[in-house]
Amino acid sequence: MEDSLKQALEIVKAQAGVRVMSAEEMVSMIGAIAESISKVGKAEIKEEKPPVDPQKAIREKSVICLECGKAFKVLTKKHLASHDLTPEEYKEKWGYKKGISLVAKSLARERRKKMQSMKLWEKRKMSKGLA
């Protein structure tokens, strides 16, 4: 038996349990519900196609949001929230590894250089040694 017909029978069975229904009413209700369920099941769920290839979205000077197609230097939590996504959900949805940053390559490189020049790890060691 077709899945939508089984679901329709269950719905009508539950409905008949709470109110009196004629046989004709049950049959027409089963037909209408089964048709509606099959339409919903057959409705094409459009597979989201990103504006660019996810592997090419993180560029030298920008990051392309795969949800809206806009370019940013950083995909922030706030922007992703406008698409009802967390950074983790966004990465999972588009096939990124958990550790990847959603930052333009040039900006990431600048930040890395800045952190290396600050040598915070050495300053931390020194402050621990003096305390």
pLDDT on residue 66: 93
Provide the mean pLDDT of the chain: 87
Please state, for a pLDDT cut of 90, what percent of the chain lies above it: 55
CATH topology of domain 54-106: Arc Repressor Mutant, subunit A (1.10.10)
What mean pLDDT is predicted for residues 45-69? 85
3-state secondary structure (DSSP) of residue 100? coil
Q: Is the pLDDT of residue 41 over 90?
A: no
Flag whether pLDDT at 47 surpasses 70. no
* Residues 6+ positions from 53 with CB-CB distance below 8 Å: none
pTM of this structure: 0.55
pLDDT for residue 4:
82
pLDDT of residue 130: 61
**Hey, where are the domains in the chain?**
3-42, 54-106
Evaluate whether 102 touches 75 at the Cβ level (below 8 Å).
yes
105-118 helix and 120-130 helix, angle to the nearest 10 degrees: 30
pLDDT confidence of residue 36: 86
